[in-house]
């Protein structure tokens, strides 16, 4: 009984790992290469920035199976991508086309960096002008007079 339990404890994790792996049989190495290329180019819809190839999500597995079936059916890469874009939108692509509705995705980071640089430049420039006020001769004379008075008061207290 102990041997059976030990064997089960050893094999249970292995079977879980094997169950998570997709095993597809391709007719040719070209089909397998196309499938792998598509799986890398397409985004998992429920993951944070992962391709279909790198995701363990259930939906990613379903999409991989769907891509496999379309590759096996002889559809071209363009047909497969068009089908998935029609079904899920441009979000399924890692590199969506530049259009008016995706312009923010493409240019948003650059715009944010430019705005941040302008704000930083403005902050530094404003800080320089307020941090270094120029003293006039009258200001220097007032400071010298105040310093002399403080020194005189300290001498008077010391005596």
- Identity of the highest mean pLDDT range in 12-16, 67-71, 106-110, 126-130: 67-71
80 within 8 A of 92, measured Cβ to Cβ: no
Give the C-alpha separation, 1 to 19, whole Å: 26
Q: Take residue 154 and report the two structure tokens written for it.
A: 């300290």
Burial class of residue 80 in the structure, from the number of CB atoms within 10 Å of its CB (0-12 exposed, 13-18 middle, 19+ buried): buried
- Name the CATH code of domain 2-92 (choices 3.30.9.10, 1.10.8.640, 3.40.50.300, 1.20.1440.130): 1.10.8.640
| CATH 1.10.8.640 domain span(s) along the chain | 2-92
pLDDT digits (tens, 9 = 90+) for 1-21: 777 666 666 666 655 555 555
What length does the chain have? 159
Does this model's pTM top 0.75? no
Which comes out higher in pLDDT, residue 155 or 111? 111
Least-confidence region, from 24-28, 32-36, 146-150: 24-28
Give the C-alpha separation, 126 to 131, whole Å: 9
Give the C-alpha separation, 51 to 63, whole Å: 11
């Amino acid at each position: 009984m102990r041997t059976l339990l030990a064997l089960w404890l050893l094999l249970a994790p292995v079977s879980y790992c094997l169950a998570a792996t997709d095993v597809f049989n391709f007719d040719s190495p070209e089909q397998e290469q196309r499938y792998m290329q598509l799986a890398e180019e397409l985004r998992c819809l429920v993951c944070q920035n992962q391709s279909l190839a790198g995701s363990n999500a259930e939906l990613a597995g379903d999409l991989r199976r769907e891509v496999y079936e379309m590759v096996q059916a002889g559809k071209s890469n363009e047909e497969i991508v068009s089908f998935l874009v029609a079904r899920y939108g441009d979000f399924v692509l890692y590199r969506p086309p530049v259009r008016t509705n995706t312009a923010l995705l493409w240019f948003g980071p650059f715009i944010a960096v430019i705005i941040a640089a302008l704000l930083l430049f403005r902050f530094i420039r404003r800080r320089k002008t307020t941090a270094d006020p120029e003293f006039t001769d009258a200001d220097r004379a007032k400071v010298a007079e105040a310093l002399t008075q403080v020194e005189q008061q300290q001498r008077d207290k010391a005596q």
